[in-house]
């Protein structure tokens, strides 16, 4: 298989995961890639590896350029196994190679693989001379694990950003000017919403560092490489990491007999009539990982559930657990639902929204099938708040 040239003597040598449709629960309809990069200089460096089952593909791309046994350095920007899974096998091919990683990277790799390898531990500001060029390192803890760092090749103005700025896209194209920017930003947003969302303040620190670097290429560890639309993705990261929202509502619900759905649509139409961009998402057909990109930019999040056996419906519970973990901030929530007798679900939804730090609008809790008069009242109350 072929390596793809980024610049003279710098290549993409990653693996394309055409078939993956669930990345630990995050649906990836377009598949993904695990990006590894090869830098040829006096010293030969591999930046990150690929998921274990794509090792042969990575090796054949490396072998397209050099004999893989000549690798001197393997930079491990991130321990997570989608990037380190092929490390043990590459170390069998190049046992003399030094592993360059952060302090937490060393701990994590030892805990994962127990390999008897030669580590060089680097911290922010450290550099590694490769001959005519040198790498520098910036620790970016929690973007996405405590060990994360990014690697910068100043002479070529390339930032190897690992998980940051990634997207789950499997494609024959490698660069952002070869595919639709709309698709790229949509997938980058889905990736941010499902992976990076909880770490906004850490992303902002990383963005501060990035802003001091002269960058022509951002080479992430998933998906497409940025070279023509860097300002566009940086601008999105600035907004997302600051929890900046739009005048938008996402109404998320599950329903037993259609009454909670009626309330959902009524709430949606109340917002829509006030000029709020409205998304209505039924959890029976929408996956929670597809709801989160909508939450990423929505000022209002309305969550509805019927009551089943004194509880909210399981899909709503799963969504709330997932969303709470991803920790959106500065949102306004509204709990709603229909019930027959107990009616506990709406209060339960509201408790979770409150616990997640949402400001709350007045809940909507209606028995059995809501009447037209009740729905009109719902619209009126919401619109009073939106005045």
Task: Supply 364's token pair.
Answer: 């909507």
Q: Look up 163 and say whether it is catalytic.
A: yes
Q: Kindly compute the dihedral angle of the four CA atoms of residues 102, 103, 104, 105, in this order, to the nearest 10 degrees.
A: 40
Q: Could you say which DSSP state residue 97 is in? A: P
Comparison of 292 and 364: residue with beta carbon closer to ligand FEO: 292
Q: In whole angstroms, give the CA distance from residue 382 to residue 387.
A: 9
List 152, 191, 300, 339, catalytic entry: 191
Q: Look up 191 and say whether it is catalytic.
A: yes
List 222, 253, 261, 294, catalytic entry: 222
Q: Look up 34 and say whether it is catalytic.
A: no
Q: Look up 112 and say whether it is catalytic.
A: no
Residues of this chain that bind ligand FEO (CB under 6 A) = 78, 80, 82-83, 144-145, 163, 221-222
Helix (H) or strand (E) holding 16: strand 15-17
Task: Supply 115's token pair.
Answer: 């390999």
Taken in order 211, 212, 216, 222, is the CA torsion positive or negative? negative
List 57, 82, 254, 350, catalytic entry: 82
Supply the minimum distance, in Å, between the C-beta of residue 107 and ligand FEO: 16
Task: Supply 373's token pair.
Answer: 């008069």
Beta bridge partners of 134: 129
Comparison of 80 and 294: residue with beta carbon closer to ligand FEO: 80
Supply the minimum distance, in Å, between the C-beta of residue 23 and ligand FEO: 8
Q: Look up 80 and say whether it is catalytic.
A: yes
Q: Look up 144 and say whether it is catalytic.
A: yes
Q: Could you say which DSSP state residue 271 is in? A: H
Comparison of 33 and 338: residue with beta carbon closer to ligand FEO: 33
List 19, 24, 116, 384, catalytic entry: 24
Supply the minimum distance, in Å, between the C-beta of residue 159 and ligand FEO: 16
Supply the minimum distance, in Å, between the C-beta of residue 154 and ligand FEO: 24
Comparison of 145 and 344: residue with beta carbon closer to ligand FEO: 145
Judge whether 342 and 376 are in contact, CB under 8 Å: no
């Amino acid at each position: 298989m072929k390596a793809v040239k980024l610049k003279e003597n710098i290549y993409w040598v990653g693996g394309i995961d055409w078939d993956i449709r669930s990345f630990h629960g995050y649906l990836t309809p377009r598949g993904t890639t695990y990006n590894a990069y090869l830098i040829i200089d006096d010293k030969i460096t591999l930046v990150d590896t690929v998921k274990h089952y794509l090792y042969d593909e990575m090796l054949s791309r490396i072998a397209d350029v050099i004999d893989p046994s000549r690798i001197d350095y393997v930079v491990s920007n991130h321990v997570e196994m989608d990037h380190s899974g092929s490390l043990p096998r590459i170390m069998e091919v190049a046992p003399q190679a030094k592993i360059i990683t952060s302090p937490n990277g060393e701990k994590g790799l030892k805990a994962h693989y127990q390999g008897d390898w030669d580590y060089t531990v680097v911290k922010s500001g450290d550099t590694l001379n490769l001959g005519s060029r040198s790498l520098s390192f910036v620790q970016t803890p929690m973007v996405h694990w405590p060990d994360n760092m990014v690697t910068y090749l100043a002479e070529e103005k390339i930032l190897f950003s690992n998980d940051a700025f990634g997207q789950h896209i499997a494609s024959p194209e490698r660069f952002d000017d070869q595919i639709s920017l709309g698709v790229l930003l949509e997938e980058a947003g889905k990736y941010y919403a499902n992976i990076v969302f909880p770490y906004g303040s850490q992303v902002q620190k990383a963005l501060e560092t990035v802003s001091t670097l002269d960058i022509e290429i951002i080479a992430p560890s998933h998906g497409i490489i940025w070279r023509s639309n860097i300002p566009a993705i940086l601008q999105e990261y600035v907004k997302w990491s600051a929890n900046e929202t739009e005048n938008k509502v996402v109404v998320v619900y599950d329903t037993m007999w259609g009454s909670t759905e009626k309330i959902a649509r009524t709430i949606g139409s109340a917002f829509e009539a006030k000029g709020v961009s409205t998304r209505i998402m039924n959890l029976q057909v929408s996956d929670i990982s597809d709801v989160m990109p909508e939450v990423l930019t929505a000022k209002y999040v309305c969550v509805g559930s019927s009551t089943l056996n004194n509880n909210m419906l399981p899909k709503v519970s799963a969504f709330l657990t997932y969303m709470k973990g991803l920790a959106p901030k500065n949102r306004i929530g509204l709990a709603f639902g229909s019930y027959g007798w107990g009616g506990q679900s709406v209060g339960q939804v509201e408790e979770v929204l409150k616990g997640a730090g949402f400001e709350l609008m007045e809940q909507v809790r209606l028995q059995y099938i809501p009447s037209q008069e009740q729905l009109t009242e719902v619209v009126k109350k919401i619109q009073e708040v939106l005045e």
